[in-house]
Every structure is written in C-alpha cells, then in structure tokens.
Structure 1
Amino acid sequence: MKLRLQLFEFEDLPWFPAVVRAGMMDYLRFMISALGTYQPIVPLLREALLKTGRATHLLELCAGAGGGTEGVLRSLRENGLPDAQVTLTDLYPQPVAWQLLSARTPGLSFEPASVDALAVPPELGGFRTVFSAFHHFAPPHAEALLADAVRQQAGIGVFEGAGKSWLEILLAWTVLPVAQLLITPFIRPFRLSRLLFTYVVPLIPLFTIWDGTVSILRMYPPEQLLALARRADPEGRFEWQAGKVRHTWGPQVTYLIGVPASN
C-alpha cells in the first residue's frame, strides 16, 4: 500500500486525556515487547551503531511507554555490544512506565523532562531512534526531525512495526481488539484506571482501534522515507538506506537508517 493519508490520531491531541493516552501506550508497549516486533532490525541497528562510533548509546525519541526497547537493548548487549545503553525521551514523558523498565533493564534510563524530537537538546547525545512514532509527523515535521539529526551529526534510525498493508488494518479492527481485552489485566504497572477505561467505559480500546488504523494509513513507505531524508540532507552529509525486514513469523518492519558519511 503506497497510499498515505495525513489523518489525525487522538493521542497526538494536546487536550486528549493523559490517563487514556497512558493506557493506550501501555498496551502498545506490552504487545510490541511480547511479540518481539523489532527484533528483525537489531542487526541493522548494530551495524549503524558501529559505523557511527557511538556503539554504546541510543537516544530514543518519541518513546511513548517504551515499547520494544527492552528487547532491542537486550539483543544488542547479547550480540557484540555489551555496553549498549538507551535513554528514553518523549514530548509527553511517561515516567511511571519508564521507571518500571529502568528498574528491570540494565543500561536503560530516561529523561524526565519533555523533549521535542524536532529540536533535541545538544546535551542529549547518542544514536537517535524512533520506534512506532515517525508516522505521527507530517512531511515538513518529519523532514525537520531528520534534518536536526543531520545538523547535529547524530546517526538516526526510524522504525515502524508494520509493512503498511490492508491486512494489517483488518487485524487492527478484528484480532487486536480481542487481544487487548484479554491481556489488559496482565499489563504492568497495574493501573485501576486502565481497567475502568477498558471494560467499564471502553475508551482505550475504541481509541486504540482508530489510532492503530490511522497509524498504518499515515506510515511512510521506504521510497517516501528516502525522499524525506534527501530533502533533509541536501548536501549528502549522511548515508541513507530504507526498506522492510520480515519477522520470522510474518510481520514486517519498515525502516530508515542514516549515518554520517564521514564515518
């Protein structure tokens, strides 16, 4: 599917209730972690880290509740980068969820202050990553996010846990809502509000269906990712690659990776 629609997601709206947004982010983190969604990109990320010479530090932008971060960090540490570290950041920080991840995951920390992915403070160094969030940015802002990485000579990897297909939209309307109802009691940290807004007033499942569908429709396919990268880097200071990799059991991950050409 090459169609891209710039629709809105509720979680992007400033007035959207934080308690519902947190419930949606917790569900996304749980599913991505449980399914190992981003494991196929670990070799690509490891190679990029080695190329940049910053093989120990990832700066995760737009981290949400930190979905997939634990598994990726663990795999990097087990595959030749034993000192790898991750710092989670977001425009809307999730310190409760992040504290849980940090306490049980060696090498994982977080920045409690709000961080704008379009203008990352220079003191927050490291190879930048964006998991499951790049589609939130309209083309001018997506280009600005990449341009900020180029300007600060920070390597960057953009990863979306889908291949952008109609089948994935069908799953978002059928299988995934049922899974959400089944797994919600097992999501940690425990929140009474999550149970309330899942089963009594089902705002979390309903908004998850909408935002999940829109996420796929807003995703940039590889050719559009490369076009954004070239506009963000008109002088060719970075080396860019984009494509899709498939998980062993079916799902795809769409990616864009850029590293300084001088390396």
Structure 2
Amino acid sequence: MNKRWHLFELEDQNWFPHVVRQGMMDVLRFLITVLGMYKPIVPLLRQGLQQTGQRQIIDLCAGAGGGILQVWQELEKQSGQPVQVTVTDKFPNVAAYSYLQAQSNGAIDYAEQSVDATAVPAELKGFRTVFSAFHHFKPAMAQAILQDAVRQNQGIGVFEGASKKWHELLLVWLVFPWVILLITPFIRPFTWSRLFFTYVLPLIPLGVVWDGTVSILRMYTPEHLQAMVQKLNAPHYTWQIGRAKHWSGTGVLYLIGYPL
C-alpha cells in the first residue's frame, strides 16, 4: 500500500467539536501507552539527543500527548540523565497536558498557546518530535515542518505507529470499536463528556474509526520521506529513515534528522 490518499480527518476540521476531538486524542494516548507503541524508537531518539547535546524535547502536534510520558520514562531510564519535555499543539489539550505534568513531577511541561509546527516560536528550543501526526499534513506542509527545524538548526524526529498495511485497516474497523468501549472508564483524567460521547452519543468511537482509517491511507512511506528530505536545503544535516519493529509485528515508521 505505497500510494497515499489525503482524505479528510475529522479532528483536522475547525468545525469539529473540541470536546470530541479531545476525547479521541485521550483514547489514542491510552492505547499507545498500553501497547508501548513507541518504545522501539527510544534508542534512536536517545542517539539524536546525544548527537545534538540536547536534554530538552519540544513535542509538536501533541494531541493529548500520546506516548510522550512513556518515551520520557524510557529515555531517562536508558540514558540515566534527566530529560525535559514541552508538549505543544495547534489545539492544546490543556487538561491532558496538566495530567502528564503531574505524572512526570513537572518534567513534562506544556505551551498553553497554539503552536504552528511549520513556524515554531524561536524561544521553544530543543529536539523536536512529532508522534502520530505527520500524516495530517500534505507534502508541502510536511516538508515545511522539516525545513523549519533545519532553519532553526534543531534536531527533529518524526514517528508513526503503523506500517501502512491492509491488515491494520481491519484492526481499526473490527477491533477498535470494542476496545474503546472497554477502556474508556479507565482513561485518565476522567471526564463525564468522554463517557457521554462514547456510550450515549458515540461520536468518539466513530471518529476514531474514521480518522484511524484515513490516517493509514494518508501515511507516508520511507520512500516518500526520503524524497522529501532530498528536497530540503540541509547539507549539514544527517537523516535516518526506516521502520523499527514493534512486538506486535507492526513497523514504527521513523525519520530522524539533526545537524552534524
């Protein structure tokens, strides 16, 4: 499935209810953490931090911060050094970020203001990460995210927790709805709105199934990313592109770049 279809995702639409968008992001954060989806890329991210001398991560397009708590924990465990994280998004999920801040004893902070990943404020300096969100952007915008990191001489890591395989679509259609119904009462921080939009008016599971399907169809392949990098004006950068194997058999797509 090498072709990319840029269909629309509900969470990208300005008219889509913010409370439902937040609920969908909370579901994904919970699933990503329980499955340990991004554990395989921690050694690669650690290497990028070492090469750039950074202990600060700027997490872009964070949604509800899916996976960043576990990634931060693994980074500190493997490196034996403290790592600070600032999560940002165009539509900040402050309730989720406050929860992550509390869970990390303040090591994970957040920006309350909207942050554009193609024009990150200069004061937000650190190794940039994009988890489960790069597919939201059309090629020109995706390349602009990479180019902005290069322009500001910051390292960047892009990670997608799927392989763009047909069997993943079947999982989204046949398994995800039932899983969401089972896990929703256990998602923290607890909100009544999440229960309402799951069990009474099931916009959250329907939204996750639709956006999950479109996400897989939108996803870039390593070949797409390689072509994108070649168009960048970044002769002083080194790039790593590939798939890291997850225990489930899914390949976690990664692109990591930093100045030499």
TM-score of the two chains, using structure 2 as the length reference: 0.98
Q: Hey, what does 2:60 align to over in structure 1? A: 61
Deviations 1:15-42 (A, max 9, x none): 1100110110000000001111000000
Q: Hey, what does 1:188 align to over in structure 2? A: 188
Q: Hey, what does 2:213 align to over in structure 1? A: 213
Q: Which amino acid aligns with 1:198?
A: T
Contact conserved, 2:127 with 2:154, CA < 8 A, in 1? yes
1:229 Cα deviation from its structure 2 partner: 1.6
Q: Which amino acid aligns with 2:90?
A: L
Aligned residues: 259
Q: Secondary structure at the match of 1:79?
A: helix
What is the distance in 2 between the residues matched to 1:226 and 1:78? 31
Q: Which amino acid aligns with 1:33?
A: T
After TM superposition, what 4+ stretches of structure 1 lie above 4 angstroms from structure 2?
Answer: none
Deviations 1:207-236 (A, max 9, x none): 1101000001000001111111221x2342
- Contiguous gaps of at least 5 residues in structure 2: none
Deviations 1:149-173 (A, max 9, x none): 0000000000000011001111000
1:72 Cα deviation from its structure 2 partner: 0.5
Higher deviation after alignment, 233-242 or 206-215: 233-242
Contact conserved, 2:26 with 2:96, CA < 8 A, in 1? yes
Q: Which amino acid aligns with 1:174?
A: L
Q: Hey, what does 1:138 align to over in structure 2? A: 138
Deviations 1:131-160 (A, max 9, x none): 000000000100111000000000000000
Q: Hey, what does 1:70 align to over in structure 2? A: 69
Matches within 5 A, 1:91-240: 91-106=90-105, 107-231=107-231, 233-240=232-239
1:81 Cα deviation from its structure 2 partner: 4.4
What is the distance in 2 between the residues matched to 1:99 and 1:230? 38
TM-score of the two chains, using structure 1 as the length reference: 0.97
What is the distance in 2 between the residues matched to 1:121 and 1:234? 20
Identity %: 57
Contact conserved, 2:162 with 2:251, CA < 8 A, in 1? yes
Contact conserved, 1:150 with 1:237, CA < 8 A, in 2? no
What is the distance in 1 between the residues matched to 2:183 and 2:169? 20
Q: Hey, what does 2:255 align to over in structure 1? A: 256
Q: Which amino acid aligns with 1:259?
A: Y
RMSD: 0.9
Q: CA separation of 1:154/1:81 partners in 2, compared to 1, >3 Å: closer, same or farther? A: farther
What is the distance in 1 between the residues matched to 2:87 and 2:204? 23
Contact conserved, 2:150 with 2:234, CA < 8 A, in 1? no
1:85 Cα deviation from its structure 2 partner: 1.1
Q: Which amino acid aligns with 1:178?
A: W
Higher deviation after alignment, 102-111 or 212-221: 102-111
* Structure 2 residue 30 is the aligned partner of structure 1 residue 30: yes
Q: Secondary structure at the match of 2:255?
A: strand
- Contiguous gaps of at least 5 residues in structure 1: none
Q: Secondary structure at the match of 1:245?
A: strand
1:250 Cα deviation from its structure 2 partner: 2.1
What is the distance in 2 between the residues matched to 1:180 and 1:3? 29
What is the distance in 2 between the residues matched to 1:201 and 1:133? 26
Q: Hey, what does 1:87 align to over in structure 2? A: 86
Q: Hey, what does 2:47 align to over in structure 1? A: 47
Contact conserved, 1:230 with 1:236, CA < 8 A, in 2? no
What is the distance in 2 between the residues matched to 1:230 and 1:127? 21
Higher deviation after alignment, 105-114 or 16-25: 105-114
1:237 Cα deviation from its structure 2 partner: 2.5
